[in-house]
Structure 1
Amino acid sequence: MIDNACIGDVKWQSFTVKYTGDVVADPAPWMHDEYDIWFRDPNEVVWNMLANPEFANNMDLQLFHEYNMTDSTWWWQDFMSGDWAWCQADIITEDQDCLGSTFIPIILGSDKTTVWVATSQNDYYPLYLSIRNIHNSICQAHHNGVVLITFLAMPKTTREYASKDEFHRFWCQLFHSSLSHILKMLKPGMVKPEVMPFGDGHYRCII
């Protein structure tokens, strides 16, 4: 059961969402349904990943450029060597309070895999989180470098209502409002550095 599962010491939590818009005289069934969203606190997940000693020697804590010594060709391999990370660092350093902090890029991803819970006839989209300081080789080999954090509810309805604009809007609103509720837990650490333990035994300010 999802609510009893505990991976990496971060417990699953849930909240319920339902349609709150105008209801017509003969409403579609989905307007009365409730949708359970299951998630784990992404801030705690990031904390666990940073503190994992398995990543201590496979993590970039600073930006870098890597070149071929023979022809000076710029090599891209891990995330922290890319242009985007450097651009974000320039933006972060505009805030004096963030100077000296370790930049922790967070990447979210999903796929077309759906999880079907037979007991309640619910379908879910899984959502995954990774911190991109971890080397690509570790993420590709898993090693908890990519972590499942959310089961996003997929509203269903009958064929009669599936093509209606109201249902399509609700589908999008359900997706975005669910993400907003879950990811707001990361927001404090996006504007003010937080101190977190790392797998090498040191504590660092991160942003």
Structure 2
Amino acid sequence: MLGARITELMDIWAKFNAAGDDLDTSDDMELPRSPPFANSADLYNVIDLTELGDVPWQAFSVKYNGKLPDNGPPPTWMTASYEVWFRDPLKIMESQISNPNFDGEIDYAPKQVFGPDGQRIYRDMMSGNWSWEQVDTIATDPEMHSAAFVPVILGTDKQFQDSVEFRKFRRQLFHSSLAHILLSLKPWMTKPRITRCADGHFRHVIYGLGPYIADYPEQALLASIVSGWCAKCTALSSDLDGISSKRFLVHMSTLSTSEMLLDMI
């Protein structure tokens, strides 16, 4: 429902009761005489403050502090102040880990998955070799025994600028901003943090920075698609409203196998 419609509904509700009329209710359902929300903004605020989504946005500013050119005015990027918005990654991770909707879907330890033919299947982070290596490293510290390893997977969209100097500054800006954003996670990369999990139990958790998804080709690879494909359905990029079905991993596997067979012919 559109925000304007929500506000209109709340206004009608309030005026209806202010006129002294009663709401038509059944014996087993009693509706409040005053509207539950003042307007759409009030409703959205309540939604944003729910336990699973209460991770407020924060901001800080970054500015170039290097040497300015001796001749001519400096480029605008050298004098501009860049505002960086983020949400506390520790709170986001704990919100995800404690979400009861994920109960039974979280791997608290690495795993090895094998197909009927005995071949190993790699299907997610915890089924890969990297997670095993991280847990082996964690196990060398007696204080971290039995801790669950939680990989933090980050990613960004493409960024570009023509100036060579700006590209260097952009990298510095990005890396320093990322380091600041991840400060809340840093202490818990070497020390277990007691965390409520989706199944209601509390576990010792160790965080670690996992793979970084830096560009579109990597995003396409992880989504099991090729460039230009929709990640959710089989619709063609030239006809997104056309007939299509949901995209499944088995579809990608079948296409890959078919392509290999065609190459062998």
Give TM-score scaled by structure 2 length. Answer: 0.55
Unaligned 5+ runs, structure 1: 113-124, 126-153, 157-161
Name which of structure 1's ranges 56-65 and 34-43 shifts more when overlaid on structure 2: 56-65
What fraction of aligned residue pairs are identical, expressed as a percent?
A: 43
Match among 19, 23, 27 for residue 68 of structure 2: 23
Name which of structure 1's ranges 188-197 and 7-16 shifts more when overlaid on structure 2: 7-16
1:88: Cα distance to partner?
0.9
Q: Partner of 1:105 in structure 2? A: 151
Specify the code of the residue in structure 1 equivalent to 2:75.
Answer: A
Per chain length, whose mean CA-contact separation is higher, i.e. which structure has more relative contact order (CA < 8 Å, sep 6+)?
Answer: 1
Secondary structure of residue in 2 paired with 1:188 = helix
> C-alpha distance in 1, partners of 2:77/2:130?
41
1:205: Cα distance to partner?
0.4
> C-alpha distance in 2, partners of 1:199/1:58?
9
Specify the code of the residue in structure 2 equivalent to 1:199.
Answer: A
Q: Partner of 2:200 in structure 1? A: 201
In the comparison of the two structures, how many residue pairs are matched?
156
> C-alpha distance in 1, partners of 2:64/2:107?
44
Displaced runs of 4 or more, over 4 A: 4-7
Q: Partner of 1:37 in structure 2? A: 84
> C-alpha distance in 2, partners of 1:86/1:106?
15
> C-alpha distance in 2, partners of 1:171/1:109?
16
Higher-helix-fraction structure: 2
> C-alpha distance in 1, partners of 2:186/2:48?
24
- Assess if the C-alpha contact under 8 Å between 1:6 and 1:12 holds in 2: no
CA RMSD across the alignment: 2.1
Name which of structure 1's ranges 59-68 and 5-14 shifts more when overlaid on structure 2: 5-14
> C-alpha distance in 2, partners of 1:187/1:40?
15
Give TM-score scaled by structure 1 length. Answer: 0.69
User: Which structure has the bigger radius of gyration?
Assistant: 2
Q: Partner of 1:11 in structure 2? A: 56
